[in-house]
C-alpha cells in the first residue's frame, strides 16, 4: 500500500504471531468437528520450502479446519487427531486411508463420484454412468426441495430411490463384473 519493502523475517514473525493468536480457535474448531454429525475430509498437495507437503481439511457446513503435514496418509490423519476421534459420518473421496477409520460410518462425496462417472463414461462410452449421474443430481435436487419445505420421504419413496439406484448399479456391474 505504501510501497515499502517488508523483510522476509518480519513476515515469518507475523505468521508466527498469527498462529499463536489463532491456536485456540483452531483447537475449538477441531473439537466441534470431532463432535459433528457429519465431517467432510480431503487433502491437497502443496510446496513448503520446495518440499511436497499435504494440506488436510476437515469440514462441515459451517466450519473448516486446515492442517499441514509432510505426509499424506494415516500418519498425518492420526497426527491431526480429528478424523480418528470424530463421532459422525465421514464423507470422503474413497481414498484408501479413510477406509482404515473402520469405526466410521462412511459416505462418498458426490462431487468425486460425478467426476469418476464422467471418466468412466468417456472411457467406455457406456450409458450407465450418465444414468447414475442423472440419478444423483436429480436425487440431490429432490432432497434439497424436501428439506426446504420440511417434507419427508415416505418408505415407498425411499424404496423407489433404492430400486432405481440398484438397477443402475446392476447395469454397470453387468458390464464390469
Mean local confidence (pLDDT), 113-118: 95
Res 102: pLDDT: 81
Residues with Cβ within 8 Å of residue 32, at least 6 apart in sequence: 63
Mean local confidence (pLDDT), 63-72: 95
Mean local confidence (pLDDT), 101-107: 88
pLDDT band per the 50, 70, 90 thresholds, residue 91: very high
pLDDT band per the 50, 70, 90 thresholds, residue 75: very high
Mean local confidence (pLDDT), 25-53: 96
Looking at beta carbons, which pairs linking 50-59 to residues 24 or more positions away fall under 8 Å?
56/80, 58/30, 58/33, 58/82, 58/83, 58/86, 59/33
Amino acid at each position: 500500500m505504501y510501497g515499502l519493502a517488508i523483510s522476509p523475517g518480519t513476515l515469518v514473525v507475523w505468521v508466527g504471531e498469527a498462529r499463536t493468536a489463532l491456536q485456540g480457535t483452531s483447537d475449538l474448531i477441531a473439537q466441534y468437528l470431532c463432535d459433528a454429525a457429519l465431517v467432510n475430509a480431503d487433502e491437497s498437495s502443496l510446496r513448503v520450502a520446495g518440499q511436497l507437503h499435504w494440506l488436510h481439511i476437515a469440514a462441515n457446513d459451517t466450519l473448516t479446519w486446515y492442517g499441514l503435514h509432510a505426509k499424506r496418509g494415516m500418519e498425518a490423519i492420526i497426527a491431526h487427531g480429528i478424523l480418528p476421534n470424530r463421532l459422525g459420518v465421514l464423507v470422503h473421496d474413497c481414498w484408501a486411508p479413510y477406509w482404515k477409520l473402520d469405526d466410521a460410518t462412511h459416505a462418498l462425496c458426490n462431487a468425486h463420484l460425478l467426476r469418476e462417472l464422467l471418466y468412466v463414461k468417456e472411457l467406455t462410452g457406456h450409458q450407465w454412468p450418465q444414468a447414475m449421474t442423472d440419478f444423483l443430481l436429480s436425487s440431490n435436487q429432490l432432497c434439497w426441495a424436501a428439506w426446504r419445505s420440511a417434507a419427508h420421504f415416505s418408505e415407498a419413496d425411499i424404496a423407489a430411490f433404492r430400486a432405481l439406484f440398484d438397477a443402475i448399479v446392476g447395469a454397470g456391474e453387468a458390464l464390469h463384473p
